[in-house]
Amino acid sequence: MPGSLPANFETSWPKDVGIIAMEVYFPSQYVDQTELEEFDGVGAGKYTIGLGQAKMGFCSDREDINSLCLTVVQRLMERNGLSYDSIGRLEVGTETIIDKSKSVKTVIMQLFEESGNTDVEGIDTTNACYGGTAALFNAVNWVESSSWDGRYALVVAGDIAVYATGSARPTGGAGAVAMLVGPNAPLVFDRGLRGTHMQHAYDFYKPDMVSEYPVVDGKLSIQCYLSALDRCYSVYRNKIHAQWQREGTDKRFSLEDFGFMVFHSPYCKLVQKSLARLMLNDFLSHPCPDTEKGPYSGLEAFRDVKPEETYFDRDVEKAFLKASSHMFEQKTKASLLVSNQNGNMYTPSVYGCLASVLAQHTPQQLAGQRIGVFSYGSGFAATLYSIRVSQDATPGSVLDKLVMSLHDLPARLDSRKKVSPAVFAENMKLREETHHLANYIPQGSVDELFPGTSYLTRVDEKHRRLYARRSLNDDEPLEAGVVSSTATTEHIPSPVKKMPRIPATTAGPEAVAISNGDH
């Protein structure tokens, strides 16, 4: 029929397309949320218990969205021994806009100059916190398309989340995540298993072009998030049921089928409520749940509730938080490491959660697991999809390399400097007063930055931004400019630079001459 795929189409796809390597960057300083409660004059526990937040990372005026993305890309390339000519697509997802025309991606391209590689597709994608996921999907789709030339795709999600003084300010944060995408990956995207929901709402938006601060309707934002979660999960389950039926498997999908479940995390408490929400969905869709014993024990009173009427129902929330508590400990709690310690990073938030899971488990614990991923961006756009972890957890495998590259994440979080709420407030005031200023030299201390961090040196009279990079060695002087990778050994071998535009269908996916380790 018109529009249908030929029978042999799937044989032309590269094998196991997904995330090969990841890198996470967060600022070198943070404010303690307990101290911030006292400074703001709110009740003890409002931020730490009510929101589930412990620390919040923030940037001085030395860092902007360009510097964050420059830093995380250089870290990923250097730590994995990658050459810049091995990248054929570079996608950026961000909502931190400092120029209405020039993309962050084009700023990152200065890192490619030494390699001479200018043949790099992709630009920025923007829709609140969903931009990173859209960028990631673009990269995966490129590798699986006739446009693919055999090189890797690189995805960068980065944001600086800041709010005006008030109740929303403790839900801020900042950071960036870079992801290398290609075939034969340790984290493979489940093909055809995406549940998406998109709708119009003014729950969180940034209409003021001269301010970093958003306009937020907090209650509506929570309702949008939870309603999108309901609908995405319903679509995802329908698709996986259909897939299973085609494979001859007659079973129901539930949360138990996810080894781990990660969510976009505006604040940690909402994530815990979201897992409980998915359990509510499983409970309501089950034809005959056992309310006498097991996870649904004692929930019979909620059998006939309507999901759209329960977004702010305290009884439903409390009951399913309790019922899902064990599952939360097993499947989701570990994902909140970066979110709890650094705050909301916007587009990289859900990928910081994914990295947190990888950083706190062994390759053997991760091998073969299906990881559910829920990404939400206000306005609003959302997708729930899944990733399958490679079965190969042997030393030196691509999974082992990925996990080992992230094992220092907790130590890096612990190495940051704590500053007082008063200093944090001063930094926020400085950012507010200097936002979009021309002919400006930042005042923040470069010495406080992590080694290897790119930073803003000045904004000239034409609003052109200039950057330098702090030395990777604390004993060396600051470097005069942004430099490219100096790594000499390759952790992940580069693919052949020029490849056929689509793998040969006769030989199958193995005909593609690309190497990503032993997997």
Q: How many CB atoms lie within 10 A of CB 446?
A: 15
Are 517 and 492 in contact, with CB atoms under 8 Å apart?
yes
Between 250 and 220, the higher pLDDT residue: 220
Which residue is associated with the tokens 């689509």?
A: 502
DSSP labels, 47-100: TTTSS---EEE---TT--HHHHHHHHHHHHHHHTT--GGGEEEEEEE----S-S
Which residue is associated with the tokens 């190969």?
A: 392
269 marked as binding residue: yes
DSSP H/E element including 497? none
Q: Residues for the chain: how many in total?
A: 519
Q: What is the mean pLDDT of residues 357-384?
A: 97
Which residue is associated with the tokens 């397309």?
A: 17
Lowest mean pLDDT among 209-223, 300-314, 470-484: 470-484
Q: pLDDT confidence of 474, banded at 50, 70, 90?
A: low
* Whole-number pLDDT of residue 12: 66
- Considering 282-291, 402-411, 429-438, the range whose residues carry the highest mean pLDDT is 402-411
318 marked as binding residue: no
Are 223 and 372 in contact, with CB atoms under 8 Å apart?
no
Q: pLDDT confidence of 13, banded at 50, 70, 90?
A: confident
How far is Cα 436 from Cα 439, in angstroms, rounded to an integer? 10
What residues contact residue 329 under an 8 Å CB cut-off, 6+ apart?
A: none
Q: What is the mean pLDDT of residues 349-361?
A: 98
221 marked as binding residue: yes
The answer, yes or no, to whether residue 440 has pLDDT greater than 70, is yes
DSSP β-bridge partners for residue 56: 31
Q: Is 3 exposed, middle or buried (0-12, 13-18, 19+ CB in 10 A)?
A: exposed
Q: Chain-wide mean pLDDT for the chain?
A: 89
Query: Can you read off the two tokens belonging to residue 278?
Result: 């998915």
* Whole-number pLDDT of residue 513: 30
The answer, yes or no, to whether residue 481 has pLDDT greater than 80, is no
Q: pLDDT confidence of 495, banded at 50, 70, 90?
A: low
The answer, yes or no, to whether residue 315 has pLDDT greater than 90, is yes
DSSP β-bridge partners for residue 90: 154
Whole-prediction pTM: 0.89
Between 10 and 477, the higher pLDDT residue: 10
* Whole-number pLDDT of residue 252: 87
* Whole-number pLDDT of residue 11: 52
**Residue 138 vs residues 21, 143, 425: alpha-carbon distances, Å:** 17, 9, 38
* Whole-number pLDDT of residue 472: 85
Tell me the per-residue pLDDT of 144-161, one tens digit each, with 9 for 90 and over: 999 999 999 999 999 999
* Whole-number pLDDT of residue 94: 97
At 142 the three-state DSSP class reads: helix
Q: What is the mean pLDDT of residues 436-441?
A: 93
- DSSP percent split of the chain into helix, strand, coil, nearest 5: 35, 20, 45
Q: What is the mean pLDDT of residues 271-281?
A: 97
Domains of the chain and CATH, by start: 18-470 (3.40.47.10)
Catalytic residues: 95, 129, 264
Please state whether 63 falls in left (phi above 0), alpha (psi between -120 and 50) or beta: beta
Instruction: Report the share of the chain in percent with pLDDT over 70.
Output: 89
How far is Cα 437 from Cα 81, in angstroms, rounded to an integer? 37
Q: What is the mean pLDDT of residues 287-315?
A: 92
Lowest mean pLDDT among 166-170, 327-331, 473-477: 473-477
Tell me the per-residue pLDDT of 27-42, one tens digit each, with 9 for 90 and over: 999 999 999 999 999 9
Lowest mean pLDDT among 8-12, 377-381, 424-428: 8-12
